[in-house]
Amino acid sequence: MDFYTVLSERGIVSVNGVRIPVTLLVARCPYRYIMVVEETPEMIEGRIQHAVIESLLRERGWETEVKLELTLQDPPATIVGKIDAVNHDNHLIVEIKSGKRLYGEYVMQLEIYRWMWYRLHGQVYDGEIWFVRNGRVEYRIRPWLRDPQAMEPIVVSRLRQLLDQLNTPESLCVRNEYCFLCPLYRRCPATRRG
Ligand code: SF4
């Protein structure tokens, strides 16, 4: 299957334009994000943990699984995302994670959601990352986050780079410390480069 077909099957390109998920914008290796669709056992467990915590939050009046969609003119693309939980009383956006480590991508994801929220609703919300396990919140982190207005040029720059890279799929491969776990490892252009 050629790369363009994969992009259209994932809903990233279509006759209506380009739709870029926030998770793709912040992905450590965008190529893997696009090409690998099957869920790992960790992802399935993460999904279950999300469902449990989000259900508890809904009972307490939080909004969960909040979809965001923001269309830019330059570059022409729509950024789409889904915030795990929003507390409107406390003006707080929460990203739920079921792993144990805080990665830079998680913080960037939160910053982009805050920026989108600001662009769409004109309000600045705080942001936290909650690490969950066994159906409860183990710890909460409130990382230092850039001002939402300062995020716009950063997002636009990253978006432009990503759109360019979609034309040369091998440029989307970014080697990282988890390549050895990647299902594409043996046929990945980056690892074949040595
Ligand atoms: S092996 Fe590494 S660089 Fe190649 S697709 Fe997988 S994660 Fe990306």
Give the global pTM: 0.93
- Domains for the chain: give ranges and CATH numbers: 3-192 (3.90.320.10)
| Digitized pLDDT (tens) for each residue of the chain, 194 residues in all | 788 999 999 999 999 999 999 999 999 999 999 998 888 888 898 899 999 999 999 999 999 999 999 999 999 999 999 999 999 999 999 999 998 889 999 999 999 999 999 999 999 999 999 999 998 999 999 999 999 999 999 999 999 999 999 999 899 999 999 899 898 988 887 876 55
Distance 31 CA to ligand 1 centre (A): 7
Q: Is the CB of 173 under 6 A from ligand 1?
A: yes
Q: Is the CB of 141 under 6 A from ligand 1?
A: no
Q: Measure the CA angle with vertex 14, ends 11 and 15; round to 5°.
A: 160
CB-based contacts of 66, cutoff 8 Å, min separation 6:
82, 83, 85, 86
Q: Is the CB of 179 under 6 A from ligand 1?
A: yes
Q: Is the CB of 182 under 6 A from ligand 1?
A: yes
CA-nearest residue, atom 2 of ligand 1: 179
User: CA separation (Å) from 138 to 50, 109, 133?
Assistant: 13, 20, 6
Phi-psi sector, 38: left (phi>0), alpha (psi -120 to 50), beta: beta
Position 168, amino acid: T
DSSP 124: P
Distance 70 CA to ligand 1 centre (A): 29
Phi-psi sector, 50: left (phi>0), alpha (psi -120 to 50), beta: alpha
User: CA separation (Å) from 188 to 5, 68, 168?
Assistant: 18, 32, 13
Q: Is the CB of 27 under 6 A from ligand 1?
A: no
Name residue 115's beta-bridge partners.
Answer: none
CA-nearest residue, atom 5 of ligand 1: 32
